Amino acid sequence: MTSLPSNPATLPVLRGGMVGMGMIFDETYAPFFEAAGHGLYDAATGAFRVELAGAATRTGDRTAAYVHRRGLTGFGNHIGENAVGDLLASGIDFLCVASPDDKHFAAAKQGIEAGHHVIIEKPSVLSLAELDQLVALAKEKDVLAKVVYHKLLDPDHKRLRTLVADGVLSHVNNGYCSLLEPKSISGSQFAAWITGRNPGTYVAVHYLKLIDFTFGGRLKSVQCTGQRGLVGPKNGPTWDSTQLRLVYEYESGREAAFDIHTSWVTPDNFPGYVEQEVQFRFDNGVWNGHSRKRGVELTVEGRTPHELKNTINNHYNASFLEPWGERSRRGYGIEVIERFAREVAYVELGGDGNGRSARLAEMAARDYNDLSADRQVVAAVEAMEAILAKAAAGEPNAVVEVNGRSGGLALYLPGKSEPEMLYQGTV
Ligand SMILES: NC(=O)c1ccc[n+]([C@@H]2O[C@H](COP(=O)([O-])OP(=O)(O)OC[C@H]3O[C@@H](n4cnc5c(N)ncnc54)[C@H](O)[C@@H]3O)[C@@H](O)[C@H]2O)c1
């Protein structure tokens, strides 16, 4: 094993910039950057370190609090109309976009246009037209454009995919997934940007990717229902919960259907805070997964279930006292960001300039996180958003056909024979 030098300042550095410094920054990006500042080692690149150079946010308050808490100097706190532009001009190598989902596209586009590698929090973007632009731009600018779906790195989901890839589990027929967030998410954490949004785009997307990446196949249709009245008015555009249904077809010509239920109005004293469950039924088996009930149940008088959780997911992101005495914060939520940094390092530090395009192509071919491989997921998100918008406008029960009779993404309303085309090209 190669050890890192005692003075990381001597290492080649990759400078990152953040757009958005909210909950997901605190949970995953902050621990990643804090650890990677001491150096990372990769056999393909040698040792390097990663530094967070600055952030572009709406108010700058959370950046200021972070800078104060960490005692940082020279950290760029960019706000205002040109916050992202100022961050890009401060000299960074890659941009992390973790702002609300309807703000991802503009920031990512700006980052790629400026010639920087970009990673976007899920959902990458909200339409195929936006995805097409970012993928084409990344190609033109010779940079990586990637998205974070940390559930693909959850050891349970990796095991599921392994059993499918190895043919141990054969042909998925149907399944359900549910992800329930507490009321505090919709009521306070996201209150500033929740109007007009829905929990499906925010969290069903994790399972859209899991299903798409694990089972492959061709997305054929999307349906969605939902409820309103808690987060916003009962006839308004803001949704409390959603029920999404996808139909896929596989090479054999056989189909599968998946139901994904999400909510952000579960009571705050729910024992596990975030409830995540999946069941997939195959020709020869059943996979039952519960990301919260993995076997640990904790009670601390006066502290659970609010400050500490009763059933804890220690695999996602948790603080540990390691057996060798060090304090660490680890988990797949952090590992997924580190993998992206290693991919950027491979392109930029993994050899001489002549080999850069080949290294870039190799990293862009990683379909677990490349934007070019996110088409069916973005199609499902775009379809779901359009179906919910129609329902909010008094036209419920639409169905979106994918690459069907009319091509691309075609939204059909009951009683109307002509579809509304959301996306004309092939998905
Ligand atoms: N991978 C995951 O499991 C996971 C979990 C939570 C959130 N997310 C994603 O991360 C993103 C952010 O979520 P969050 O939970 O951190 O939200 P949050 O509301 O806690 O934070 C949002 C941040 O974005 C900033 N912001 C708002 N508008 C902006 C703008 N126009 N330009 C720049 N910054 C802006 C805010 O100042 C704040 O710092 C969302 O896309 C969400 O879906 C992913």
User: DSSP state, 45?
Assistant: T
416 and 381 fall within a common domain: yes
Q: Which of 240, 144, 140 is nearest to 200 (CA)?
A: 240
In a domain, 284, yes or no: yes
Q: Which atom of ligand 1 is nearest the CA belonging to 59?
A: 37
Q: What is the pLDDT of residue 221?
A: 98
- Model confidence pTM above 0.85: yes
Question: Which positions of the chain have pLDDT values less than 50?
Answer: 1
Q: Which atom of ligand 1 is nearest the CA belonging to 61?
A: 37
143 and 160 fall within a common domain: no
In a domain, 386, yes or no: yes
Q: What is the pLDDT of residue 1?
A: 45
205 and 124 fall within a common domain: no
304 and 331 fall within a common domain: no
Residue 329 CA to ligand 1 center (angstroms) comes to: 21
Residue 384 CA to ligand 1 center (angstroms) comes to: 20
The CATH number assigned to the domain holding 99 equals 3.40.50.720
Residue 424 CA to ligand 1 center (angstroms) comes to: 30
In a domain, 371, yes or no: no
131 and 210 fall within a common domain: no
The CATH number assigned to the domain holding 247 equals 3.30.360.10
CA 356 to chain centre: 27
Q: What is the pLDDT of residue 3?
A: 63
In a domain, 1, yes or no: no
Q: What is the pLDDT of residues 39-82, one digit of tens each?
A: 999 999 999 999 999 999 999 999 999 999 999 999 999 999 99
Distance CA 147, CA 336 (A): 10
Q: What is the pLDDT of residue 275?
A: 85
| Domain span holding position 250 | 155-312+376-423
**Number of domains into which the chain is organized:** 2
In a domain, 21, yes or no: yes
> Residue 24: CB within 6 Å of ligand 1?
yes
In a domain, 194, yes or no: yes
20 and 50 fall within a common domain: yes
29 and 108 fall within a common domain: yes
Residue 314 CA to ligand 1 center (angstroms) comes to: 22
| Inter-residue long-range contacts of 21-27, CB under 8 Å, 24+ positions, other chains counted | 21/55, 21/57, 21/62, 21/63, 21/66, 21/98, 22/62, 22/98, 22/189, 23/189, 24/98, 24/121, 25/62, 25/98, 27/317, 27/333
233 and 93 fall within a common domain: no
101 and 120 fall within a common domain: yes
271 and 327 fall within a common domain: no
Q: Which residues contact 204 (CB under 8 A, 6 or more apart)?
A: 177, 179, 242, 244, 260, 262, 384
